[in-house]
């Protein structure tokens, strides 16, 4: 069977997330805010993580890129009356967390330039699975150099991963997306909420009722034969700007005053992610594909493929079948030829001629 690799344009509106043409995975530059110190509260679920927090603070081990200013504090110094009732509740999060690795060491900040800056810049100082969460970000990041809107009421976090196999690193963002959708279902089930059907828009966006409610950003560096992956999530939980949020849709579906809490979703996310990630590492992403396809938007979707043929641009319709082993979209044309579809910039527009390779 022959498979062609080509650029494509989707039959739905473009989004504001740029995607590199080389891989469905990004490596982004850092940004920071030097106007005032950012307060970081170092927290741990167990006595071991609490002792680690004390060590980080005493050694003044954390900093921001390009000289950004931070001040570090321990969990015991959190004053809820100072930060407001809607500040992230660390105790509530830990009480719902049941993981062995992920989320157990937590850095919380009421205001931060970017959670991604904290985990990526301090990666080697943090344990694998450490998470940074902020109530508000001044310079949140999306793919490429795009800004991510970060109003209060959104869940904004970044956490650390370490991987050995570079071939599967680009696929980890799909596991993160899947864990988010599974976590929201779990919170709905446990609290008796109506189903909130958050869907995955390939490769890294989360949609609800046709509107974007979240996105994933994964960046990586290679050091000492390991891939250090910083994975970030932004999810509109309680603030409907700029599109919509989970609580707005929940109110439309339920007469009760119940609401999603960021702490519940974040704990459920790590509980689900740890399970899915272990399956992914031990058995491959293929084991999760069926569940992933039930959650994404694209099965059977018709796509316009624009191919450059000498001086002409030829358009053909293809149908999305799933993902290739490298994480791109697999589609079939009306001529039964298989295509591997690569995004080209923000709007998935075309360019570049076909590259063909055989599928074993």
Q: Which range has the worst mean pLDDT, 38-42, 174-178, 179-183, 316-320? A: 316-320
Residues 271-290 have a mean pLDDT of 97
Is residue 355 scored above 70 in pLDDT? no
Average model confidence (pLDDT) for the chain?
A: 83
Residue 150 banded pLDDT, cuts 50, 70, 90: low
The answer, yes or no, to whether the previous bond of 273 is cis (omega within 30 of 0) is no
pLDDT at residue number 69: 84
pLDDT at residue number 151: 65
pLDDT tens readout for residues 209-228:
999 999 999 999 999 999 99
Residues 325-332 have a mean pLDDT of 90
pLDDT tens readout for residues 99-119:
999 999 999 999 998 999 999
pLDDT tens readout for residues 224-247:
999 999 999 999 999 887 789 999
The predicted model scores a pTM of: 0.86
Distance CA 176, CA 269 (A): 9
Distance CA 88, CA 101 (A): 21
Residue with tokens 């660390």: 90
Residue 37 banded pLDDT, cuts 50, 70, 90: confident
pLDDT tens readout for residues 163-173:
999 999 999 99
């Amino acid at each position: 069977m022959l498979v062609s690799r080509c650029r494509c344009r989707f039959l739905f509106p473009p989004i504001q997330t740029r995607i590199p043409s080389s891989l469905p995975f990004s490596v982004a530059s850092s940004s920071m805010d030097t106007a005032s110190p950012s307060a970081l509260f170092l927290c741990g679920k167990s006595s071991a993580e609490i002792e680690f927090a004390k060590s980080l603070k005493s050694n003044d081990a954390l900093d921001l890129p390009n000289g950004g200013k931070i001040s570090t504090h321990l969990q015991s110094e959190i004053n809820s009356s100072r930060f407001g009732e809607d500040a992230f509740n660390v105790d509530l999060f830990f009480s719902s967390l049941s993981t062995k690795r992920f989320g157990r060491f937590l850095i919380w900040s009421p205001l931060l330039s970017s959670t991604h800056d904290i985990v990526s810049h301090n990666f080697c100082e943090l344990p694998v699975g450490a998470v940074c969460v902020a109530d508000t970000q001044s310079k949140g990041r999306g793919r490429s150099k795009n800004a991510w809107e970060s109003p209060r009421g959104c869940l904004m976090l970044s956490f650390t991963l370490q991987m050995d196999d570079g071939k599967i690193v680009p696929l980890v963002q799909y596991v993160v997306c899947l864990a988010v959708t599974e976590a929201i279902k779990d919170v709905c089930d446990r609290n008796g909420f109506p189903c909130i059907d958050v869907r995955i828009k390939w490769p890294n966006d989360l949609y609800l009722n046709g509107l974007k409610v979240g996105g994933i950003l994964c960046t990586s560096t290679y050091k000492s034969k390991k891939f250090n992956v910083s994975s970030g999530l932004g999810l509109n939980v309680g603030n409907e700007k700029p599109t919509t949020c989970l609580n707005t849709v929940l109110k439309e579906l339920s007469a009760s005053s119940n609401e999603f809490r960021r702490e519940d979703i974040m704990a459920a996310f790590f509980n689900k992610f740890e399970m899915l990630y272990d399956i992914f590492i031990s058995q491959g992403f293929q084991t999760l594909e069926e569940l992933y396809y039930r959650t994404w938007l694209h099965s059977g979707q018709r796509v316009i493929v624009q191919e450059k043929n000498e001086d002409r641009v030829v358009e053909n319709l293809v149908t999305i079948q799933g993902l290739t082993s490298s994480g791109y979209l697999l589609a079939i044309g009306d001529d039964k030829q298989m295509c591997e579809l690569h995004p080209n910039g923000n709007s998935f527009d075309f360019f570049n001629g076909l590259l063909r390779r055989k599928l074993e």
